[in-house]
Amino acid sequence: MTSEVEVDAVVLVGGQGTRLRPLTLSAPKPMLPTAGTPYLSHLFSRIRAAGIRHVVLGTSYRAEVFEEYFGDGSAHGLEIEYVVEEEPLDTGGAIRNVYDRLRADHAIVFNGDILSGADLHAQLRTHLDSGADVTLHLQRVADPSRFGSVPTDENGRVTAFLEKTPNPPTDQINAGCYVFRRPVIETIPAGRRVSVERETFPGLLENGAHLQGFVDSSYWLDVGTPEAFVRGSADLVRGIAPTSALAGPTGDFLVLDAASVFTGAKLAGGTTIGARAVVREGATVSGSVVFDDAVIGPDAIVENSVLGRGAQVGEGAVLRGVVLGDGASVGARCELLDGVRIWPGVSVPDGGIRFSSDA
């Protein structure tokens, strides 16, 4: 990363992804196909671009899936080690749990479900130049009342961690990316749940530690909900969110190998069509993520939706803001709207049926 100091990367991917069910019933959230490749591949591309090579992955749910796919990391230009949580430890506990695998004097910690365009070089430079114990990426957002806020003084030093409030004193929120001096990580209690927001960071402030804010307003998205997952994938395809792991050029859509898009079908809005998937004549697919082997029938309309592996959409069906689990099927002329989720293998029959999540 720099000529003066080595930095490790820590990526926390232990969550069960409950907000993304049913997609996460078959794969951990960071391994879901996002713009044609597991989400984690996009994060790894940013880590590699920052000049960091040693990555420690803190896993828990479906831990074996990560190592089966990424192996030792050499194919991605990285050296990856894996640490499995036997029980949930929360963010602070998960950071402490990987301490023994760290080698460098500093570690940059990533929350595994944040898609960000923040400049990692600049954050690391801020950390080193300020001499901070911890440097936090703080994102400016339009509505900080939805989050806890993190005020800083005129020198960028963090002064407090505040819970959600209707009238926050700043538009800066914790963006889920931290640079720690390694000795600070050792002070986190081991072997139990620890929240960085409620325990680690307030405790460090109380004890006079130097917490620095790295503030920017670049691209940032928590991809933990179906709506955000679809948006994040589309933003990657369109080149709005940064990555060097895209499985093709940026544009209005991405079609993977051996997929079939019939004449008269329309793709738009950053849609991804997975390998061996089929989009039949007259169908319209916009702003959606279609996993491998899915089939979209003639004249169907799929907007802002996720179709799991092998899912099927019948002729003339309409899906807007919908999630279909792996192998689920929707019959001809059905209309599914507004956050409906169909579990894996479930079939919705033909015949003009209209569902919405608030029905």
Residues 232-282: pLDDT tens digits? 999 999 999 888 888 778 889 999 989 999 999 999 999 999 999 999 999
Residue 38 Cα distances to 22, 149, 188, angstroms: 17, 30, 31
Distance CA 81, CA 170 (A): 38
| C-alpha angle 41-338-220 in degrees, rounded to nearest 5 | 35
Residue 134 Cα distances to 17, 152, 181, angstroms: 27, 14, 6
pLDDT tens string, the chain, 359 residues long: the values are 444 678 999 999 866 657 777 777 777 778 888 888 888 898 999 999 889 999 999 887 676 788 888 889 898 889 999 998 888 888 899 999 999 999 999 999 998 788 888 889 999 999 999 999 999 999 988 888 888 889 999 999 999 888 777 888 888 988 889 999 999 999 999 989 999 888 999 999 999 999 999 998 788 888 878 898 899 999 999 999 888 888 778 889 999 989 999 999 999 999 999 999 999 999 999 999 999 999 999 999 999 999 999 999 999 999 999 999 999 999 999 999 988 999 999 999 887 566 655 44
* β-strand pairing of 271-273 with 253-255: parallel
Please name the amino acid found at residue 150: V
| Residue from 222, 221, 190, 197 nearest 211 by CA | 197
Residue 311 Cα distances to 28, 45, 267, 322, angstroms: 19, 29, 18, 12
Q: What tens digit of pLDDT does each residue of 126-153 get?
A: 999 999 999 999 998 888 888 888 999 9
Q: Which of 3.40.50.300, 3.30.350.10, 2.40.30.10, 2.160.10.10 is the CATH number of 252-356?
A: 2.160.10.10
Q: Do domains 7-222 and 252-356 have the same CATH topology?
A: no
Q: Check if the beta carbon of residue 182 is closer than 8 Å to that of residue 105.
A: yes
Q: Tokens 């190998």, residue?
A: 257
Q: What share of the chain is helix, strand, coil (3-state, %, to 5)?
A: 25, 30, 45
pLDDT at 3: 42
H helix runs in the chain, sequence order: 39-49, 63-70, 90-97, 120-130, 182-186, 201-206, 226-237
CATH T-level assignment (fold) for domain 7-222: Spore Coat Polysaccharide Biosynthesis Protein SpsA; Chain A (3.90.550)
pLDDT at 358: 46
User: Where in the chain are the domains?
Assistant: 7-222, 252-356
- For the entire predicted model, the pTM comes to 0.87
pLDDT at 2: 46
CA dihedral 92, 98, 100, 103 (to 10 degrees): -100
pLDDT at 19: 73
